[in-house]
Chain A
Amino acid sequence: MHTIIKPRRGVAQLNLAEVWQARELLGFLAWRDITVRYKQTSIGVLWAFIRPFLTMVIFSIVFGRIAKLPSDHVPYAILTFTALLPWQFFSTAFADAANAVVGNGYMITKIYFPRLILPLASIAVGIVDFLVSFVILVFMMIGYRMVPTWRVLALPLFFALCLLFTVGLGLWTASLYVKYRDMRHIIPFITQFGMYVSPVAFSSSIVPARWRFLYSLNPMVVVIDGFRWSLLGTTQLYVPGVIAGTVTSIVLLVTGVYYFKQTERVFADVM
């Protein structure tokens, strides 16, 4: 094994092989975050089910019963939950990934490992939470006797899109956060404000057609519509929007990885 240490100039080398080699560390860090979260809680892992379930109940009451938003002829609870699934994944995984570098600053100044592992581990934790919530959805759909069509096969693709977007935005924010601590105030803003501009509590069918393309530049719009389309079959898929959202996500991801690699060389110095 031969290591060369010298100043990096120009465009950063991605060196993704190194990240792959450190996948066990990624697993351990994700496992640590999950284990620690439920240690010392009396009902432990049950919290993973309670949180999304309660949010769904509250949404159904506030928006479905009180505000009477249209629900595209499916039970409002299901309409909300299909959106909450990807949204909660995005908001928690994004916020954790954005905090991952600064939050683990002490490790960064003491030992070397591929820095990309930190935000990726946070996102891995989010995936586990997502899978748990998904089980609730399955039970709800059984309860409402809803049978998904062949479209459900497209669901992993929409989740993949959600993942790309979360990683991309997470990496951008995580590296900016190291340099600009203002990010601390911007991160909760993105997760809170983002929920109102994404069709979580309502169906995107209420958005006027001429705004539809612009609206789809937010990849979460495409993801949520995609979840509803593949699980409920109610929402029409707006193809130009799907393309717009996918392109946005890919651009964010590619630039995000590069920006992260470009700035990681100074992480330890400014930490």
Chain B
Amino acid sequence: MSDVIIAEGVSKSYRLGEQTTAYGLLRERIAQAFKAPFARQQPANQFWALKDVSFTVGSAEVVGLIGKNGAGKSTLLKILSRITEPAEGRIDLHGKVSSLLEVGIGFHPELSGRENVYLNGAILGMSRREIRRKFDEIVDFAEISKFLDTPVKRYSSGMYVRLAFAVAAHLEPDILIVDEVLAVGDSAFQQKCLGKMRDIRSEGRTVIVVSHNMGTVSSLCQRVIWLADGKVKAAGEAQAIIRQYLSEGVKNDFVWTPRHGILSAFEYHSVSIESGDAAGGGEGFPANAPIDVVFDISIHDKFPDGRIEMRLQTDSGDLLLTSTSADATGQMNHDWKRGRQQFRCRIPADFLMPGRYFITITEPYGSHDIVRENVLTFSVTEEGSLSARDQRGGKIAPRLQWRLTQLTTDNR
């Protein structure tokens, strides 16, 4: 088996600090040029997202990339996809590469399903002929043939995602690079997507997949690369690495702070998880205590009405619930007052099953929201859990109200 991906000493750094915004202002550059006309821009605090990462992937291998948030998985994917350049190192890829960091890139809401298939296919690197040849297959896979000529803005989110995935699934690369795009759609469609992934493997293609969902990783991948703090912590046979990762590697991410600066008048200072009780934290939260998700934000300027959305996912990738900051108002959106403020969303006590959970949040950004996936991770322990006592099933374990009304008394 020959190696189709060879990565040697790949490093990537980002500058942190100094710049408060993600982009420069001309004024700063001009001022700097006057102050020190011959000096190059000072490299501010360097942050190494990846440091000296080396690995190889053989042909027809499916390799999982795991690690907690900020370990460098996304950066590595972006480098492999040629979206961004490494600062050091070299990667050789033998074969046609396709990357799917998101499905439905370039989809335009005003265009019909048919038009979007062509557009998206072209963006993913398919030729017009190739798309035409696979068109019927794509439409069948997405199960949307009746709505082919309807603008996709009228699609339900399920239809939209199915169509977007269907186009992606019909790529024929030698090397496929996939981000957690599988965590979409209903579970029947997810199964179909997983099946498609297995087909891709049996067709002799090489796949690199990033996932937080260890179930997916262990069922799909033969090998796993575990990234921690920008370095390869371990690599090898999937089951062994996953066991190791689950037993020691998974730290709970209780606090998230954005690393990309302010994008708009809406700024996240942090999003964190706190136990509603004094106890908790450390290894996890007891099931019988409330858990608070705290959104610490600032609104710097007039900002269009909107909301923060929070999605709670189980570690098998099931979306458990979605809650928004506008829920309390009874409206879709709410207005924003300027200044620093905190939203506190309480997940009630006696509600979640013991297990690991991931929180995805949205960041309002003018007309649309930016989705920040799996920014927080926490565990609910069996302590005080209703379900742990008698191993009951189900997705949630709320303590429901049971009221006894004695109707007659039989005094025999």
Interface residues of A (CB under 8 A from B): 1-8, 24-25, 28-29, 32, 35-36, 39-40, 106-113, 178-182, 265-266, 268-271
Having A4-B91, A107-B105, A110-B105, one finds 6 other A-B pairs with CB under 8 Å, namely: A6-B89, A25-B122, A111-B81, A269-B84, A270-B23, A271-B22
Residues of A within 8 A of B22 (CB): 270-271
**For the complex, what is the distance from the CA of A4 to the CA of B89, rounded to whole Å?**
11
The residue in chain A whose Cβ has the minimal distance to the Cβ of B151 is A39
Contact partner of B91 (CB less than 8 A), chosen from A5, A108, A112, is A5
**From residue B371, how far is it (CB to closest CB) to chain A in Å?**
11
A110 touches B80 (CB 8 A): no
A178 touches B23 (CB 8 A): yes
Contact partner of B102 (CB less than 8 A), chosen from A5, A108, A110, A270, is A110
Residue B395 is within 8 A (CB to CB) of chain A in the complex: no
A-B contact pairs, 16 of them (CB 8 A): A4-B90, A8-B85, A28-B118, A36-B111, A40-B110, A108-B83, A110-B105, A111-B102, A111-B105, A111-B124, A112-B83, A179-B23, A180-B23, A181-B23, A265-B85, A266-B85
**For the complex, what is the distance from the CA of A52 to the CA of B174, rounded to whole Å?**
49
B86 touches A32 (CB 8 A): no
Interface residues as binary, B375-410 with A (CB distance below 8 Å gives 1, 0 otherwise): 000000000000000000000000000000000000
- Residues A179 and B111 in contact in the complex (CB < 8 Å), given A5-B82, A112-B82: no
Residues of A within 8 A of B95 (CB): 1
Q: Which of B24-32, B212-220, B267-275, B343-351 contacts the other chain?
A: B24-32
Contact partner of A5 (CB less than 8 A), chosen from B79, B118, B127, is B79
- Residues A1 and B83 in contact in the complex (CB < 8 Å), given A179-B23, A180-B26, A270-B23: no
Residue B40 is within 8 A (CB to CB) of chain A in the complex: no
The residue in chain B whose Cβ has the minimal distance to the Cβ of A2 is B94
- Residues A24 and B127 in contact in the complex (CB < 8 Å), given A5-B79, A182-B25, A182-B26: yes
Interface residues of B (CB under 8 A from A): 14, 22-27, 29, 78-97, 99, 101-102, 105-106, 108, 110-111, 115, 118-119, 122-125, 127-128, 151, 174
B83 touches A110 (CB 8 A): yes
B111 touches A32 (CB 8 A): yes
B83 touches A7 (CB 8 A): no
**From residue A238, how far is it (CB to closest CB) to chain B in Å?**
35
The residue in chain B whose Cβ has the minimal distance to the Cβ of A6 is B90
**From residue B198, how far is it (CB to closest CB) to chain A in Å?**
24
Residues of A within 8 A of B29 (CB): 180
**From residue B380, how far is it (CB to closest CB) to chain A in Å?**
33
**For the complex, what is the distance from the CA of A28 to the CA of B27, rounded to whole Å?**
37
**For the complex, what is the distance from the CA of A113 to the CA of B83, rounded to whole Å?**
8
Residues of A within 8 A of B85 (CB): 5, 7-8, 265-266
A111 touches B123 (CB 8 A): yes
**For the complex, what is the distance from the CA of A70 to the CA of B160, rounded to whole Å?**
58
**For the complex, what is the distance from the CA of A113 to the CA of B120, rounded to whole Å?**
12
Residues of A within 8 A of B86 (CB): 5-7
Residues of B within 8 A of A109 (CB): 78, 83
**For the complex, what is the distance from the CA of A175 to the CA of B403, rounded to whole Å?**
68
- Residues A268 and B92 in contact in the complex (CB < 8 Å), given A111-B99, A113-B123, A180-B25: no
- Residues A2 and B93 in contact in the complex (CB < 8 Å), given A265-B85, A268-B84: yes
Residues of A within 8 A of B99 (CB): 111-112
**For the complex, what is the distance from the CA of A2 to the CA of B96, rounded to whole Å?**
8
- Residues A25 and B83 in contact in the complex (CB < 8 Å), given A2-B92, A112-B99: no
**From residue A224, how far is it (CB to closest CB) to chain B in Å?**
30
B101 touches A110 (CB 8 A): yes
The residue in chain A whose Cβ has the minimal distance to the Cβ of B22 is A270
